[in-house]
Amino acid sequence: MKVQRKFYITTPIYYVNDQPHIGHAYTTILADVLARFHRARIGEEKVFFLTGLDEHGQKVQQAAEKRGLSPQQHCDDLFPRFKDLWKKLGIQYNDFIRTTETRHIKVVQHVLQKVYEAQDIYAAEYEGWYSVAEERFLTEKEKESGQFRDVKQLKERNWFFKMSKYQARLIEYIETHPEFIQPDHRRNEVLGFLRQPLGDLCISRPKSRLSWGIELPFDRDYVTYVWFDALLNYITVAGYNSNEKNFDKWWPADVHLIGKDILITHAVYWPTMLFSLGLPLPKTIFAHGWWLTGAAKMSKSLGNVVNPLDLIEQYGVDALRYYLMREMVLGQDANFTLEGFIKRYNSDLANDFGNLLNRVSGLISKNFGGIIPVRDELIQEDLEIKNVGENLNSNVHRLIGELRVNEAIEEVMSFIRMVNTYLEKQAPWKVAKVDLKRAETILYVSTEALRLSAVLLIPVMPEKSKTVLKILSALESKANWGELKPSTQLQSHPALFPRIEII
């Protein structure tokens, strides 16, 4: 496997017009899981994980007005809710950007001036359909589709970015870089969009209509269109125009994680902006699907519609992280149902992972006074486990490298199931009565498999996996087979994932 030099991953920056919800939580957990896997493989200092808030624009201004607050007060008030939720969800980001910070405003204004001087920005009178809800001008086709709310005709002088100039170059880039837009069907969607002539991008809003934004450095009557401002966050934090050494190290980003609804802004607007600046494009823009959580999707038989984030209080943060990561095939939509959550919890976490710990620790306590046994000669059945165990780390990391997170998790879970079956067949509780050495080996192999699985599950379920490793007095960093230290005393513990009983 090729060893990466560094890994820079980003989430979208979220609008502060609302409370954080499952959509925000999902992308952020996903980025956290990927960042943690990469840290484990290439080292802490080589991974950079960025998230943050998109604080400008009409949506935020309107949300603030509704609450009778100034936009800045409104943002300052909502910011801790995001920060607190990330803390609760165990998110280990390296930086958290707010677009109202000076460091970002400086970069946006610098970029605007630079692109203006390069003559990629011009002023023009524009008349067209404008969606207030979407905060942008619509094409005739979009207007006719009837998909947009609050559409009105607007005639205005504005500033435009010459996006059309880069259309051919972008198409060529996408066609020659298959890893750039993923999954494949999203790349095709973007190429389809680019088959139509690409217009120029209106990047200003007159202050008379919207005052909450970053002032254009070359025309003080206007503020910057929120997307032109927001997308630049990815280079602000990397050190663009402020810290060359950092910027060289981190840019281009390795993965921009986004939801499918913000594909065009990321896969069309953003690359053309980077072309104009003469900067390399991010390696991969990955658009994931949506969680469908409507009332109809929630379990009727179980009663209430739940806010997925409320499940944290009841079942713990790791169970939610696991469900979100295991259930969604990256790139497709998924249904969030309470029934589905409980089913996964009981089968994968209580019955498979939790049960393996219970069995192993129960048997070791009963037969060997709680001391992890020393292994003897391995027989064929043990070697089968060992063989899978020896390849597990590299298999998991290969899948993670390909952004196949649910499959990477399944790799570990199926190993755990294999070990449970092995235990049943080998029946060490019976063997112990006749051949203590053989029973010791079976339990050594099972415990080692449990240890290895826990190490590889840390990025997904940091708390519970670390609990398992504590019980085994094992290190968090050893992802190779054979690292279990025999003769150590097991720590006592409550059930890892108590079954959820449905009454």
How many residues touch ligand MSP under the rule CB under 6 A: the total is 18
Tell which one of 8, 15, 225, 240 touches ligand MSP (CB under 6 A).
15
**Which tokens in the block code for residue 136?**
């942008």
- 12 versus 389: smaller Cβ distance to ligand MSP: 12
**Which tokens in the block code for residue 101?**
């910070």
- 19 versus 70: smaller Cβ distance to ligand MSP: 19
Q: Considering the rule CB under 6 A, would residue 13 count as an interface residue with ligand MSP?
A: yes
Q: Please enumerate in sequence order all residues whose Cβ is within 8 A of that of 383, keeping only pairs 6 or more positions apart, or say none.
A: none
- Looking at 72-80, 173-181, 199-207, 255-263, which segment touches ligand MSP (CB under 6 A)? 255-263
- Looking at 21-29, 62-70, 84-92, 195-203, which segment touches ligand MSP (CB under 6 A)? 21-29
Q: Considering the rule CB under 6 A, would residue 353 count as an interface residue with ligand MSP?
A: no
| H or E element in which residue 54 lies | strand 47-54
Backbone angles phi, psi at 228, to 5 degrees: -65, -40
The tally of CA atoms less than 13 A away on the side-chain side of residue 24 is 21
At 109, the amino acid letter reads Q
Tell which one of 150, 184, 261, 381 touches ligand MSP (CB under 6 A).
261
- The answer to whether 107 and 235 have CB atoms below 8 angstroms apart is yes
Tell which one of 259, 282, 308, 462 touches ligand MSP (CB under 6 A).
259
Backbone angles phi, psi at 309, to 5 degrees: -70, -20
Give the C-alpha separation, 416 to 352, whole Å: 7
Least distance between ligand MSP and beta carbon 16 (Å):
8
Q: Considering the rule CB under 6 A, would residue 26 count as an interface residue with ligand MSP?
A: yes
At 311, the amino acid letter reads L
Smallest Cα–Cα separation from 51: which of 105, 93, 104, 17? Answer: 93
Instruction: Spell out, one character per residue from 357 to 376, where the chain touches ligand MSP: x when CB under 6 A holds, - when not.
Output: --------------------
Give the C-alpha separation, 224 to 43, whole Å: 38
Q: Considering the rule CB under 6 A, would residue 230 count as an interface residue with ligand MSP?
A: yes
Q: Considering the rule CB under 6 A, would residue 96 count as an interface residue with ligand MSP?
A: no
Tell which one of 198, 231, 268, 309 touches ligand MSP (CB under 6 A).
231
**Look-up of token digits 């990477």:** 408
Q: Considering the rule CB under 6 A, would residue 271 count as an interface residue with ligand MSP?
A: no
CA angle 417, 391, 413 (to 5 degrees): 25
Instruction: Spell out, one character per residue from 54 to 73, where the chain touches ligand MSP: x when CB under 6 A holds, - when not.
Output: x-------------------
Residues in region 410-469 near ligand MSP by CB under 6 A: none
Give the C-alpha separation, 67 to 54, whole Å: 18
- 232 versus 317: smaller Cβ distance to ligand MSP: 232
Tell which one of 7, 8, 14, 497 touches ligand MSP (CB under 6 A).
14
Q: Considering the rule CB under 6 A, would residue 24 count as an interface residue with ligand MSP?
A: yes
**Which tokens in the block code for residue 212?**
């909450």
What is the DSSP secondary structure assignment for residue 449, as one 8-state letter?
H
Q: Considering the rule CB under 6 A, would residue 262 count as an interface residue with ligand MSP?
A: yes
Q: E-strand spans in 368-445? A: none
- 40 versus 115: smaller Cβ distance to ligand MSP: 115
Least distance between ligand MSP and beta carbon 85 (Å):
13
Q: Considering the rule CB under 6 A, would residue 235 count as an interface residue with ligand MSP?
A: no
- 235 versus 419: smaller Cβ distance to ligand MSP: 235
**How far is CA 18 from its chain centroid?**
20
What are the angstrom distances between the C-alpha of 416 and each of 103, 134, 213, 355?
47, 47, 52, 10
Residues that bind ligand MSP (CB under 6 A): 12-15, 22-24, 26-27, 54, 230-231, 258-259, 261-262, 290-291
